[in-house]
């Protein structure tokens, strides 16, 4: 299960250098457009000038992609239920789309995992239109979907103002808030998934390999699939740190290099799409659902993070416990304190709570401890010598149904609130909390309604998300809690297994 300590490479570079390092992968239409940090991007509306600039870049990128045989460009956003939704344009329309966007109904802010809709105080119903504007910085030719490219989209109103419900712009605002304090976060989201034979989706999954957890058998059985996966990641400029068979039947995991948080979220979307697409080419169906088998080990979406000031990793070399600096400690203490509410972002499905149970390495207790895989916050000081670059913290309680933009934005907001309040970490937990007397170590919420209650009470998240986004998320969580209220675990798993 848990991956290596070295999730965090030195921060010597931002995405620009990462892309440079993978220049081979860069006939992807990204090219020089990748040479920017998202933190430098302005927050404001799309002015005529910005539109003209985007159109010019779109035109260049479209010509390059067309010459490479690309026919269509996928524009993605992730809804509040955690599902990636898309529109596509023929490559010829990219110039237009880059400047003026593509229409999308705002009601998707209140879409549920079953494609039903609810309503929130601000959003709902059939009226209105938003514009999906692709971020060309991340434009990538899709290695496992020949003829297609992809770019993540931001959502704007027709007048060019930022849509207040846009999850990606929310993440960006939090990155900017940290930058205003001279801080930046490096983040990586581990991706766990399960593959099954692509049979009827209403039948129980049939796994293509039956080897033991972490077993060599699984690697041998699926060697071609996994090789193609590595190849596709590489082609797309995604830096794989490691790939391994995980614990549950048919389960694998990939760890990707740390990036700044908005890029991490984009990378997560692209990586999941890639895993799915490579699977299709091998006759496999992919699930990143929190629970694929009732009672089994689920798909986590652990978030690794480290806080930096300039080139200094604040998680090491300080006077605090395990070398934490005061700032890193306050940031982490802020995250730890806010975890019950953050679960509404990071463990968003009723099915999330089938996964988030003790002794599944899912981090079901609200505590922290060095290298403790049962603590929601696992501190990873890094091997002596390497620690300066690799020291980081892993938030384990989040799963792969989370919208990665909401997740990184929410965690940043909580950490910054911890800094502002100069919070300190409680006593560490160095053993399995499940072996302590009951109640000694607090359990995180054990159901979605409990997380919803914590989320509702969170002034930190309400303020950071802004009312329209906060309320839309709340409506979706309540909608899904009601939708599945009477489902037994087997029914809940069957209803959600292939939705994520
Ligand atoms: N699959 C476990 C989870 O649900 C995590 C295993 C690990 O520590 O990597 O989070
Ligand atoms: Mg794992």
Six-digit token pair at 169?
A: 């712009």
pLDDT in tens, 443-457: 999 999 999 999 999
Q: Which one of the ligands is nearest to 299 CA?
A: 1
Number of helices (H), then strands (E), in the chain:
15, 16
What is the distance in A from the centroid of ligand 1 to the CA of 305? 17
Mean pLDDT of 85-102: 97
Right CATH for 27-163 from 3.10.20.70, 2.30.30.40, 3.30.300.30, 1.25.40.10 = 3.10.20.70
Give the closest residue (by CA) to ligand 1 atom 6. Answer: 1
User: Counting atoms of ligand 1 from 1, which one is nearest the CA of 356?
Assistant: 4
State whether CATH 3.90.550.10 applies to domain 175-496.
no
**pLDDT-derived band at 127, boundaries 50, 70, 90:** confident
Name residue 130's beta-bridge partners: 104, 157
Q: Which one of the ligands is nearest to 244 CA?
A: 2
What is the distance in A from the centroid of ligand 1 to the CA of 370? 16
Mean pLDDT of 131-147: 97
What is the distance in A from the centroid of ligand 1 to the CA of 397? 9
In whole angstroms, give the CA distance from residue 205 to residue 196. Answer: 6
- Candidates 61, 40, 65, 43; CA nearest to 142 is 65
What is the distance in A from the centroid of ligand 1 to the CA of 362? 5
Q: Which one of the ligands is nearest to 396 CA?
A: 1
pLDDT in tens, 95-108: 999 999 999 999 99
pLDDT at 17 over 90: no
What is the distance in A from the centroid of ligand 1 to the CA of 408? 19
- Distance from the Cα of residue 29 to its chain's centroid: 23
pLDDT at 11 over 70: no
pLDDT at res. 247: 94
Buried b (16+ CB within 10 A) or exposed e, 277-294: bbbeebebbbbbbbbbbe
User: Counting atoms of ligand 1 from 1, which one is nearest the CA of 363?
Assistant: 10
User: Counting atoms of ligand 1 from 1, which one is nearest the CA of 298?
Assistant: 4
What is the distance in A from the centroid of ligand 1 to the CA of 377? 13
**361 in the Ramachandran plot: left (φ > 0), alpha (ψ -120 to 50) or beta?**
left
* DSSP secondary structure of 44-100: S---HHHHHHHHHHHHHHHHHHHHTT--EEEEEEE-TTS-EEEEEEEGGGHHHHHHH
In whole angstroms, give the CA distance from residue 441 to residue 426. Answer: 11
pLDDT at res. 128: 87
Q: Please count the residues of the chain.
A: 500
Six-digit token pair at 40?
A: 């430098």
pLDDT in tens, 272-322: 999 999 999 999 999 999 999 999 999 999 999 999 999 999 999 999 999
What is the distance in A from the centroid of ligand 2 to the CA of 209? 18
Mean pLDDT of 372-381: 94
> Residues with Cβ < 8 Å from 354, sequence gap 6 or more?
290, 291, 294, 295, 298, 489, 492, 493
What is the distance in A from the centroid of ligand 1 to the CA of 13? 29
pLDDT at res. 22: 30
| pTM higher than the cut 0.85 | yes
Give the closest residue (by CA) to ligand 1 atom 8. Answer: 2
pLDDT at 33 over 80: no
Choose one of 297, 354, 397 to mutate for the ligand 1 pocket test, by most ligand atoms within 8 angstroms of C-beta.
297
User: Counting atoms of ligand 1 from 1, which one is nearest the CA of 355?
Assistant: 4
User: Counting atoms of ligand 1 from 1, which one is nearest the CA of 290?
Assistant: 4
Six-digit token pair at 327?
A: 């700032």
* Helix, strand, coil abundance in the chain, percent, nearest 5: 40, 20, 40
Choose one of 2, 3, 189, 192 to mutate for the ligand 1 pocket test, by most ligand atoms within 8 angstroms of C-beta.
192
Angle at 416 between CA 414 and CA 422, to 5 degrees: 105
Choose one of 396, 397, 401, 432 to mutate for the ligand 1 pocket test, by most ligand atoms within 8 angstroms of C-beta.
396
N-terminal to C-terminal alpha carbon distance within the chain: 21
What is the distance in A from the centroid of ligand 2 to the CA of 219? 16
Choose one of 247, 288, 290, 351 to mutate for the ligand 1 pocket test, by most ligand atoms within 8 angstroms of C-beta.
247
- Ligand 1: list residues with CB < 6 Å: 1-2, 192, 246-247, 297-298, 300, 355, 360-362, 373, 396
pLDDT in tens, 379-427: 999 887 776 778 999 999 999 999 999 999 999 999 999 999 999 999 9
What is the distance in A from the centroid of ligand 1 to the CA of 115? 28
What is the distance in A from the centroid of ligand 2 to the CA of 105? 36
Q: Which one of the ligands is nearest to 372 CA?
A: 1
Kindly give the interhelix angle for 404-420 and 326-346, rounded to the nearest 10 degrees. 140
User: Counting atoms of ligand 1 from 1, which one is nearest the CA of 3?
Assistant: 9
Choose one of 357, 361, 400, 432 to mutate for the ligand 1 pocket test, by most ligand atoms within 8 angstroms of C-beta.
361
Buried b (16+ CB within 10 A) or exposed e, 442-463: ebbbeebebbbebbeebebbbe
What is the distance in A from the centroid of ligand 2 to the CA of 42? 36
Name residue 195's beta-bridge partners: 286
Mean pLDDT of 46-51: 93
Mean pLDDT of 164-176: 97
Contact (Cβ atoms closer than 8 angstroms) between residue 272 and residue 160: no
Domain regions of the chain by residue span: 27-163, 175-496
User: Counting atoms of ligand 1 from 1, which one is nearest the CA of 302?
Assistant: 10
């Amino acid at each position: 299960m848990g991956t290596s300590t070295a999730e965090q490479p030195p921060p010597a570079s931002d995405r620009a250098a990462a892309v440079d390092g993978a220049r081979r992968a860069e006939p992807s239409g990204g090219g020089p457009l990748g040479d920017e940090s998202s933190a430098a991007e302005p927050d404001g509306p799309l002015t005529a000038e910005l539109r003209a600039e985007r159109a010019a870049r779109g035109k260049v990128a479209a010509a390059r992609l067309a010459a490479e045989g690309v026919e269509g460009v996928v524009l993605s956003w992730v809804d509040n239920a955690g599902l990636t939704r898309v529109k596509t344009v023929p490559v010829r329309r990219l110039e237009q789309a880059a400047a003026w966007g593509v229409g999308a109904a705002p009601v998707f802010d209140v879409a549920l995992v079953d494609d039903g809709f609810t309503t929130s105080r601000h959003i709902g119903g059939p009226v209105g239109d938003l514009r999906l504007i692709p971020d060309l910085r991340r434009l990538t030719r899709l290695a496992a979907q020949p003829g297609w490219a992809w770019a993540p989209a931001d959502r704007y109103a027709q007048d060019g103002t930022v849509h207040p419900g846009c999850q990606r712009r929310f993440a960006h605002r939090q990155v900017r808030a940290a930058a205003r304090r001279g801080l930046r976060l490096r983040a990586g989201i581990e991706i766990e998934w399960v593959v099954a034979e692509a049979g009827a989706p209403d039948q129980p999954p049939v796994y293509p390999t039956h080897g033991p957890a972490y077993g060599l058998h699984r690697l041998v059985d699926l060697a071609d699939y996994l090789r193609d996966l590595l190849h596709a990641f590489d082609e797309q400029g995604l830096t794989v740190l490691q790939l391994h068979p995980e614990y549950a039947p048919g389960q694998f995991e990939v760890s990707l290099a740390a990036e700044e948080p908005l890029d991490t979220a984009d990378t997560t979307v692209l990586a999941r799409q890639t895993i799915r697409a490579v699977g299709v080419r091998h006759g496999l169906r992919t699930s990143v659902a929190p629970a694929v088998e009732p009672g089994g080990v689920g798909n986590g979406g652990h978030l690794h993070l480290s806080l930096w000031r300039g080139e200094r990793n604040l998680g090491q070399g300080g006077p605090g416990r395990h070398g934490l600096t005061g700032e890193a400690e306050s940031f982490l203490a802020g995250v730890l304190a806010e975890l019950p509410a953050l679960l509404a972002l990071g463990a968003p499905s009723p099915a999330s709570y089938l996964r988030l149970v003790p002794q599944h390495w899912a981090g079901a207790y609200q505590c922290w401890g060095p290298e403790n895989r049962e603590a929601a916050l696992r501190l990873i000081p890094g091997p002596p010598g390497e620690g300066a670059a690799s020291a980081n913290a892993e938030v384990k309680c989040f799963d792969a149904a989370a919208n990665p933009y909401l997740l990184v934005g929410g965690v940043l907001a909580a950490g910054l609130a911890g800094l502002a309040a100069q919070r300190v970490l409680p006593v560490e937990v160095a053993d399995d909390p499940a072996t302590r007397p009951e109640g000694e170590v607090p359990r995180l919420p054990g159901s979605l309604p409990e997380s919803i209650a914590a989320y509702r009470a969170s002034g930190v998240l309400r303020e950071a998300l802004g009312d329209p986004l906060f309320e839309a998320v709340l409506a979706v969580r309540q909608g899904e809690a009601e939708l599945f209220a009477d489902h037994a675990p087997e029914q809940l798993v069957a209803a959600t297994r292939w939705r994520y």
